[in-house]
Amino acid sequence: MNWDIARKNFYRQGMRAFLNVLVTALSIISLIFMLSLLNGFQAQATRNLVATDVGGGHYRAPGFDILSPTEWEDHTLKAAESLLRLSDKDKAEVLIQQGQLYPNRRLYPVQIRGVSMEQSLLNLPLDNLRKYGKQIEDVIPVVVGVKMARKAHLKKGDILTLKWRDRSGAVDARDILIVDVGDMVNPRVDDGVVWLRLDHLRSMTDRQGEVSWVAVREYMGPVEGFEFQTVDALMADLLALLKQDRINSKILWTILMILVCTSVFNTQILNIFKRQKEIGTLMALGMEPMRIVRIFTLEGALAALWALVFAVLLGVPFFIWFQGVGFDVTHLSEASFPIRETIYPDYQPKEIFYSLLIVVFLVVMAAWIPVKKIIRLDPTLALRGRAIT
Amino acid sequence: MDKKLITLNEVSKVFKVGEENFTALHEVSLEIDSGAFMSFVGPSGSGKTTLLNLIGGLDVPTTGNIFFKERGLSSMSREQMAEYRRENIGFIFQTYNLLPVYSVYENVLFPLLLNGDKEKDVRDRVMENVAKVGLTDQFKKRPAQLSGGQCQRVAIARALVKDPLIILADEPTANLDTENSLQILELMRQLNQQYQAAVIFSTHDEKVTRYVRREVKLEDGRVVSDKNNVNGTA
């Protein structure tokens, strides 16, 4: 019977009940949307970093530190036989040297990256380099990323001077030709990086067969002379950023939840305030206060359940639509995140389920807590609508 | 059968109003028989409604005792008090206090559902009571769609439907015009004779006092007169 009463009370409130349900439903949708967008952002950032740079880990020359450019020349090695035996889709040999570019007579320190043209492990826009032969001709063909091009005012077809040091420490310089400006996605392999064919860079620096690292699809055990850097170690900076993002998202989640609960709490308080005479009447008719509490809590729970239904009805089409159009984050591509201009939400069923469970629990609690006041109401005051003022 | 239904023994009720104590009732002693048709009369603040609330188990006395038959109300728990109201008392309020989202039919049905009855078993009984107050044509309407007089009729039907031993009517005609007031009072007199429930009004409406058989006058929380057969209708 409690259920019947609660159901009638709820449905017959009409627009008031509908608006409460709508607010809660929209909050649930926002919650799932925010979580999924963050998931999508993280997944894409991680995927792009892996696809363009990290692979399944690096076998690096011991002591090589990407943050110490002056020591790059000191940490190169001939690629180990066991690594060379890997197929081109399972490995990418990379040689990194420092250099200086002279765009418009300015000096621009750069990272010269040579990568083997045969590899298909890393997804890099270097097709235009493949057209060139192993031998360097009049100019050295290079590719730069869009970010690098914008910063250094470079464009496809530009010829400018590149300076570097060879194995013996001798400084050399030659003209380079920008054969393409590619979308590198990952700022780590774009900003300040000039991409060359590996054979060209080896020949320029007299480092035949040498690498700074070999990116591999997966760890293949210890390799003599090399030290293995795991994916986690290589993405430590990004993972730390994402971890911070998770904390921020939890704070946002908490704020959203507080808003949802405040809305429900407020609705229930208002309900009790506005319906004191009704509560007094129920008491006068002989309904026990605890039973009234149960009925009002059930009404709150019903609102939560309908909010879930509405969240599904409104949310699913929205999420499907959004999955198609994505979210424009051009401003983030400009920063240090390895993501494209658009990110797409990544809906995690388990996360959604637990979020909904928590929302329902909190909403029911928010519905129940103010209703407890009813137990303490004086029926004679409630009947006159003066029990709560 | 023992005719004595309610006994009040030196009942006092003190309310705290801010820092002050306000004594609404001073050691009131009364006996009310079953089938009574009586009123508490007196000016505002004389303690009529307080007395009604105490008899109805909505409030408890500060001192003194109230007995329903032989049972003391003061010793009852909240749940027992709710049960007492549910099974024995029918309330009629000045402002009707109908459940706003329910229809006439549902409002009258409600006390029976509270008593554990199934709707299908009591449907006819509810409609009979609706008919008795002349609202058969309106039984699907909600309180907001009814006039004040019609609302008060619904409240009467709701109070009567469970065959209570006591009907407590707090200023039932205060919000009604003369014609509606007289209709309601006549209806209640008929129902009192038919159901033998004790009907107790709290009122300062002279129209009511013309109908009752017993009149208890209150002033400043004290009983100043208690007259039987006031209208020669014993």
CATH, residue B137:
3.40.50.300
Asked if residues A122 and A92 have their Cβ atoms less than 8 Å apart, the reply is yes
Pairing verdict, β B166-170 and B198-203: parallel
Beta strands in A170-219 (DSSP E): 171-182, 193-197, 210-211, 213-216
pLDDT tier at A355, thresholds 50, 70, 90: confident
Contact assignment for A383 to B93 by CB distance below 8 Å? yes
Q: Which residues of A touch B (CB under 8 A)?
A: 1, 8-9, 12-13, 277-278, 280-289, 378-380, 383
Contact assignment for B78 to A289 by CB distance below 8 Å? yes
Contact assignment for A286 to B83 by CB distance below 8 Å? yes
Contact assignment for A380 to B53 by CB distance below 8 Å? yes
Contacts of B121 in chain A (CB under 8 A): none
Instruction: Confirm or reject contact between B78 and chain A (CB < 8 A).
Output: yes
Name the residue range of residue B132's domain: 4-228
Contact assignment for B99 to A278 by CB distance below 8 Å? yes
Torsion, CA A235, CA A240, CA A242, CA A244, rounded to 10: 180
Instruction: Confirm or reject contact between B85 and chain A (CB < 8 A).
Output: yes
Element (H, E) at B24: strand B20-33
* Domain layout of chain A by residue ranges: 2-51+238-383, 58-229
Any bridge partners for residue A141, and if so which?
A177
Asked if residues B160 and B129 have their Cβ atoms less than 8 Å apart, the reply is yes
Per residue in A71-90, pLDDT tens?
888 889 999 999 999 999 99
Q: How far is CA A56 from CA A64, A96, A121, A198, A281, in A?
A: 18, 19, 9, 20, 71
Element (H, E) at A332: helix A330-333
| Average pLDDT of the residues in A223-233 | 92
pLDDT at A340: 66
Asked if residues A208 and A167 have their Cβ atoms less than 8 Å apart, the reply is no
Instruction: Considering only the beta carbons, identify the residue of A280, A287, A379 that sits closest to B114.
Output: A287
Instruction: Confirm or reject contact between B62 and chain A (CB < 8 A).
Output: no
Closest by CA to A52, choosing from A211, A212, A215, is: A215
Residue B61 CB partners (closer than 8 Å, separation 6+):
B11, B12, B13, B25, B54, B74
Probe site for chain A from B25, B51, B93 (most A CB atoms < 10 A): B93
Closest by CA to B200, choosing from B210, B215, B187, is: B215
ipTM value for the complex:
0.91
d(CA A87, CA B150): 91
Comparing alpha-carbon positions, the chain B residue that sits nearest to A383 is: B97
Rg of chain A over Cα atoms, rounded to whole angstroms, equals: 32
B18 domain residue, yes or no: yes
Residue A85 CB partners (closer than 8 Å, separation 6+):
none
Instruction: Considering only the beta carbons, identify the residue of B85, B87, B113 that sits closest to A284.
Output: B85
Both structure tokens of B37: 């048709």
Measure B231 CA to nearest chain A CA, in Å.
Answer: 31
pLDDT means per 10 residues in chain B (234 residues)? 84 90 94 93 92 94 94 90 94 91 95 92 94 92 93 92 92 82 84 86 84 92 88 54
CA dihedral sign, ordered B176, B177, B183, B185: positive
Q: How far is CA B147 from CA A355, B152, B153, B178, B181, in A?
A: 49, 9, 10, 14, 13
Asked if residues B168 and B89 have their Cβ atoms less than 8 Å apart, the reply is yes
Q: How many residues in chain B?
A: 234
Contact assignment for A1 to B78 by CB distance below 8 Å? no
- At residue A217, does pLDDT exceed 90? yes
B220 domain residue, yes or no: yes
B234 domain residue, yes or no: no
Residue A259 CB partners (closer than 8 Å, separation 6+):
A27
Instruction: Confirm or reject contact between B195 and chain A (CB < 8 A).
Output: no
The single residue listed with the structure tokens 């009571």 is B129
Count of domains in chain B? 1
Contact assignment for A287 to B84 by CB distance below 8 Å? no
pLDDT at B200: 94
Instruction: Considering only the beta carbons, identify the residue of A277, A278, A286 that sits closest to B85.
Output: A286
Rg of chain B over Cα atoms, rounded to whole angstroms, equals: 17
Comparing alpha-carbon positions, the chain B residue that sits nearest to A274 is: B100
Written as one string, the DSSP assignment of A2-39 is HHHHHHHHHHTTTHHHHHHHHHHHHHHHHHHHHHHHHH
Torsion, CA A121, CA A125, CA A126, CA A131, rounded to 10: 110
Instruction: Confirm or reject contact between B131 and chain A (CB < 8 A).
Output: no
pLDDT at B196: 82
Asked if residues A286 and B85 have their Cβ atoms less than 8 Å apart, the reply is yes
Per residue in A97-155, pLDDT tens?
999 999 888 899 999 999 999 999 999 999 999 888 888 888 999 999 998 999 899 99
A54 DSSP assignment: I
Phi/psi of residue A267, nearest 5 degrees: -60, -45
